Homo-oligomer: A and B are copies of this chain.
Amino acid sequence: MDKKLIGIDLGGTTIKFAILTEKGEIQQKWSFETNILDDGSHIVPDIVQSINHHLSLYGMEPEQFIGIGMGSPGTVDLNEGTVTGAYNLNWKTLQEVKKVVEKETKIAFAIDNDANVAALGERWKGAGENDKEVAFITLGTGVGGGLVSNGNLLHGLGAAGEIGHMVVQPKGYLCTCGNHGCLETYASATGVVRVARDLAEEFAGDSKLKRMLDDGQEITSKIVFDLAKEDDLLGKMVVDRVCYYLGLACGNIGNLLNPSYIVIGGGVSAAGEFLLSRVEKYFLEFAFPTVRKSTQLKLAQLGNEAGVIGAASLALRFK
């Protein structure tokens, strides 16, 4: 029988698991809530216990697995298999992950950060069509990214792929990172709302979005995009501004890396073709002619499963 992979997507709310074939087909899936109490000290033991429990449930042995791969928030040391500064897990100090998981499961373990792992997933089984040259942008609470070139993730000295912190507007909005005008401040879910509030101030025409903001109603990026699709004037202005910055970032990613695909995923990308076509308009304005003709923008295809699939692919190195 062919050996299997285990993929783990460690998040601040849930931990997702999957058992996959080495071709990337999901055979089993489960998840549980992340227990971040006591400085997140239960997380690794919970993961180990859950894996061992499910292996015995399915009547499987460690020898039947090529390896385990995991995506984690925070700063990941790829070689040591440790994580630091994952604040949504209450992991403030260095956490030994690889050492513990390998000891307790007897299965080889590899780890990378969550955005990189999602990029690997979309590259392998999603919109990236298993191409060697794929850039991935995820538009969620923040804006993350992962870059694959020559078939490998780019790590640089560890922080490569910080697409959310590309500066797209010098002296623009203040970012949580301390800089101004990062892509994340405009194109994350909260960024879209920020742009909406900002443009509403100087907007004078008729707009439901404007009225909702003035009423103090709670606005989400989904509401902004939905109203824009219904031709709301302010909504359309907000979407245009957001797509302009995304197009500028994609253009410059293209000019530097000329990937086959720039894949856009995450919650905000649920706006679909409405978003993509508008980003593309600006991408075509900012991309170098050769890049414009070769690099293609696409929507992500795997949704939530990108994490476990990409994580599992990390373990292919143990084949």
Partner of A167, one of B160, B163, B286: B286
A158 to B287, CA, bound (A): 14
Closest approach, in angstroms, between the C-beta of A318 and any C-beta of chain B? 19
Select from chain B the residue with minimum beta-carbon distance to A149.
B154
Contact across chains for A152 and B150 when beta carbons are under 8 A apart:
yes
Residues of B within 8 A of A248 (CB): 167, 170
Contact across chains for A256 and B290 when beta carbons are under 8 A apart:
no
Closest approach, in angstroms, between the C-beta of A138 and any C-beta of chain B? 15
User: Does A289 interact with chain B (Cβ within 8 Å)?
Assistant: yes
A72 to B289, CA, bound (A): 20
Partner of A286, one of B156, B161, B170, B252: B170
User: Does A246 interact with chain B (Cβ within 8 Å)?
Assistant: no
Contact across chains for B290 and A258 when beta carbons are under 8 A apart:
no
Contact across chains for A165 and B294 when beta carbons are under 8 A apart:
no
User: Does A57 interact with chain B (Cβ within 8 Å)?
Assistant: no
Select from chain B the residue with minimum beta-carbon distance to A288.
B165
Closest approach, in angstroms, between the C-beta of A37 and any C-beta of chain B? 28
Q: Which 9 A-B pairs have the closest CB atoms?
A: A156-B258, A165-B288, A159-B290, A159-B258, A160-B258, A157-B294, A167-B286, A162-B255, A162-B288
Interface, chain A (partner B; CB < 8 A): 75, 133, 147, 149-150, 152, 154-163, 165-167, 170, 177-179, 182, 248, 251-253, 255-260, 285-291, 294-295
